[in-house]
Amino acid sequence: MSKGRTSRSAVKEFRGAALRWEWRDGVVELTLDFEPLNEIGTVMLADLEKFVAAFDSLAPITSACVITSARPGGFCAGANLKELYQGALPLSPKKRATGMRAFLKRIHVVMNALDAAPFVTIAAVHGLCMGGGLELALVCDLIVADKMARFGFPELRLGLIPGFGGIPRLRRDVGNGFIRDLLFTGRTVKAESAQQAGLVSHLAGEGYALQVARSMAQQVTKFDAETRVAAKKFLKPIPYQELQREIDLFCKLFSRPVVMESLPRFVETDEPMKHLPVAEHPRNP
Amino acid sequence: MRTLDQTTREILELATLQFKVPPGSLRAEDDFYKKLGIDSLQTLDLLSRLENHFKIELPDYEVQGVSDFKTLAERIQARL
């Protein structure tokens, strides 16, 4: 960070419907806080767009960004399936695909901007980090995980693939054995396994992910900004072509009847973990 | 190597501590969803604790439909 430089227009504090951020000493902390578990739909997306729009003003005074969650259940449960289903229900398959493509393009603009953020981004993950939530964590440069955190991509249960850039970014970071296991079984993995696979940089004790991430962020502020930005560009190229192919494939899969047949099972329940196999147990027969 | 009985006992002890139920009140045949009153999020939390305690990976699809401690212990035993 360039010491002494300030930006009068920097949006150092913001409180939206789904998240808030606060800047302090070269570090901006973005806190997701949207019930029930930070689902990414139009509300979360609109707030993330505001955050990304603030990058230009924050960049001169910011070395690192910590993304965390205020929800006790975890980091983020993924896409807002209820909104997705209810929005798609009255539409023809063709219009569903068109609407989905428009939404995905907005999401990808945000994800790509976060991926290329002009500061080091650190996801502090606790609890559940699934689907779109894992895709959000994957755009970050580093992931710090509470040892009780769990990661997964359950999209194949819905007849879909991850659509917010998950597969290309996983391929950038980890091996195919791990990716195929996550995708084809739809299982969740514990934080320690995610670290062994190369997804997670640091494991934190239970309840300490944010503290560890803040410590990393403070360390980042000590180095030269120009070098940091150059190193990030060199280390972390964005796989634009593959991301576009993912959007195309997602929209093709999304237009099939099987998806609209699968979605009700996941949205017509208040279970926080409705997309996981453990949730299919009839708890109250 | 743990026996199935030892594994079951350790699961019951762990669940007793985690969900703060009176010691000795859980039995191997109990339906843990009913007995502990836990939802799926808490079930995943229990899964993480079991994986960390036994130092194993237990894919959630292997506990799909499992609701009693005894069967859960058998699934864990297969991964030890």
Residue A4, in any domain of the structure = no
Residue A5, in any domain of the structure = no
* Burial class for A8, CB neighbours closer than 10 Å (0-12, 13-18, 19+): exposed
* Longest CA span, chain A: 64
pLDDT of residue A8: 57
Strands A13-15, A19-24: pairing is antiparallel
Q: Would you kindly state where each structural domain of chain B is located, as residue ranges?
A: 4-77
Question: Of A43-52, A189-198, B4-13, B60-69, where does mean pLDDT reach its minimum?
Answer: B60-69
Residue A8, in any domain of the structure = no
Span A63-98, pLDDT tens digits: 999 999 999 999 999 999 889 988 888 888 888 889
Span B19-54, pLDDT tens digits: 999 999 999 999 988 888 887 778 888 899 999 999
> What tokens does A60 get?
């001169």
Say yes or no: A126 contacts chain B, CB-CB below 8 A: no
Chain-chain contact of A190 with B48 (C-beta, under 8 angstroms):
yes
Q: Tell me the percentage of chain A whose pLDDT exceeds 90.
A: 78
The owner of tokens 């993950």 is A125
Catalytic residue numbers of A? Answer: 79, 132, 135, 155
Q: How long, in residues, is chain A?
A: 285
Average pLDDT over residues A6-11: 69
d(CA A140, CA A64): 11
Statement: residue A268 has pLDDT above 80: no
Using CB atoms, which residue from A193, A271, A280 is nearest to B57?
Answer: A193
A181, A200, A278, A281: best to mutate for the B interface, most B CBs within 10 A = A278
- Residues from chain B that touch A192, judged by Cβ atoms under 8 A, are 52
- Residues from chain B that touch A180, judged by Cβ atoms under 8 A, are none
Chain-chain contact of A190 with B51 (C-beta, under 8 angstroms):
yes
Say if the ipTM goes beyond 0.85: yes
> What tokens does A126 get?
């606790």
- The fold adopted by the segment(s) B4-77 is 1.10.1200
Residue A253, in any domain of the structure = yes
| Cross-strand bridge partners of residue A67 | A30, A123
Sequence-distant (6+) residues with CB within 8 A of A246 are A161, A162, A163, A165, A166, A167, A168
Task: Tell me which residue range forms the domain holding A89.
Answer: 13-280
Nearest CA in chain A to B67: A281
CATH of the domain at A243: 3.90.226.10
Angle formed by the axes of helices A132-139 and A93-115, nearest 10°: 30
> What tokens does A214 get?
């803040």
In the three-class reduction of DSSP (H, G, I as helix; E, B as strand; rest coil), residue A282 is classed as coil
Say yes or no: A190 contacts chain B, CB-CB below 8 A: yes
User: Phi/psi of residue B37, each to 5°?
Assistant: 65, 40
Terminal-residue alpha carbon distance, chain B:
8
d(CA A231, CA A227): 6
- How many domains does chain A divide into? 1
